[in-house]
């Protein structure tokens, strides 16, 4: 990695940290469990690194096998994480429409 890339990466890291702090501190405690499973699913983006390891040009077989395991665990996180987050958020959303219906009655 050359210094210019490193500096750019550090910029991205610092800005993401700042932005993350701003955005996440606004999430109400009500949604902290879905938040954790959502950020988990999002950090399952390490899947793209695993994909490269599992199949890209220039990697030997042992790397492909490590990559296969990594793709599997990262996919579990992405699919499972998003699925469960949605299941939870559906429970929080459902209430509102039902309450509205009751008021309408």
Contact positions with other proteins (CB under 8 A) in 51-90 = 51-60, 62-90
CA 93, CA 82: separation in Å to the nearest integer? 16
Does position 104 bind other proteins by CB under 8 A?
no
Smallest separation, CB 94 to other proteins (Å):
8
x-or-dash string of contact with other proteins, 5-34, rule CB under 8 A: xx--x--xx--xx-xxx-xxxxxxxxxxxx
Does position 105 bind other proteins by CB under 8 A?
no
Torsion of CA 79, 84, 87, 91, to 10 degrees: -160
Six-digit token pair at 30? Answer: 């009500």
């Amino acid at each position: 990695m050359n210094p210019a890339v490193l500096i750019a990466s550090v910029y991205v890291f610092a800005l993401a940290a700042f932005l993350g702090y701003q955005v996440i501190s606004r999430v109400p405690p009500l949604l902290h469990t879905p938040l954790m499973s959502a950020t988990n699913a999002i950090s399952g983006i390490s899947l793209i690194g695993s994909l490269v390891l599992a199949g890209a040009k220039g990697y030997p077989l042992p790397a492909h096998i490590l990559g296969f395991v990594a793709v599997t665990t990262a996919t579990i996180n992405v699919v499972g994480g998003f699925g469960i987050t949605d299941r939870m958020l559906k429970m929080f959303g459902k209430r509102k429409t039902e309450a509205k219906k009751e008021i309408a009655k």
